[in-house]
Structure 1
Amino acid sequence: MVNHVSSIGRNGVHDFLLIRASAILLTLYTIYICGFFLITGDVGYLEWNNFFSGLFTKIFTMVALASILIHAWIGVWQVLTDYIKPTLLRGSLQFALVVVLFGYFFSGLFILWGA
């Protein structure tokens, strides 16, 4: 079995379950957002603002954002480990991806929960 430094104790089954769970959560979030558009009809700033001021929507949005980031990390990590063989290049690309993903997470956090 090949051990990668960036795997941090994960295995294929763990990744498989995380990808499937995140896909299910993203599907449910998509249905939730589409339901809002279908029920509301004409959506303006006031409707959109009221929708996202609800606690459930904020929490569900953060869970969906975390799911997207987990899904992206596992997918890109697998592609990088399969196709980028030089260790330094692969490590640099993985580090850059982690920085971008953390940036997305904190941007979403501040946009959703900020003042």
Structure 2
Amino acid sequence: MVTNITNFGRSGLSDWLIQRLSAIILLAFTLFMVGYFLFGSQLDFATWQALFQNTAMRIFTLLALLSLAAHAWIGLWTVSTDYLKNTGVRLIFQTLVILATFAYVVWGVQVLWGA
């Protein structure tokens, strides 16, 4: 039986599902931002600030940030287990990925919800 450690006990199906859902969220966020840039009347600081003062936009951006973190972790975990055969190297790589992902999420939350 194949086990999967990315989700601590859940199956590879849940990893697959998380990746697909996170990809859909990231696509929706990207399409929204591209549409905003293309069809926005003004693109100055005041307009940009007003966009991100909206609570719905902050939540959408936070969801995109968390989706990016989950998508990246599952993808990089899969790549590292497939291509990094040395256990020590794989452990170091995965630890660095976890730390970097955590730092980016915390930083993103601070930028998004900070004063």
TM-score (norm 2): 0.92
Q: Any idea what the Cα deviations from partners look like across 1:27-86, whole Å, max 9, x if unmatched?
A: 111122122223323301111011011000100000000001111000000000001111
Which amino acid in the other structure matches residue 21 of structure 2?
A
Q: Percent identity?
A: 39
Give the structure 1 partner of residue 15 of structure 2: 15
Give the structure 2 partner of residue 55 of structure 1: 55
Alignment of 1:76-115 (within 5 A): 76-115=76-115
Alignment of 1:60-75 (within 5 A): 60-75=60-75
> Runs of 4+ in structure 1 displaced over 3 angstroms?
2-7
2: CA distance, partners of 1:92 / 1:112 = 30
TM-score (norm 1): 0.92
Structure 2 residue runs of 5 or longer lacking an equivalent are none
RMSD value, Cα: 1.5
Which amino acid in the other structure matches residue 61 of structure 2?
T
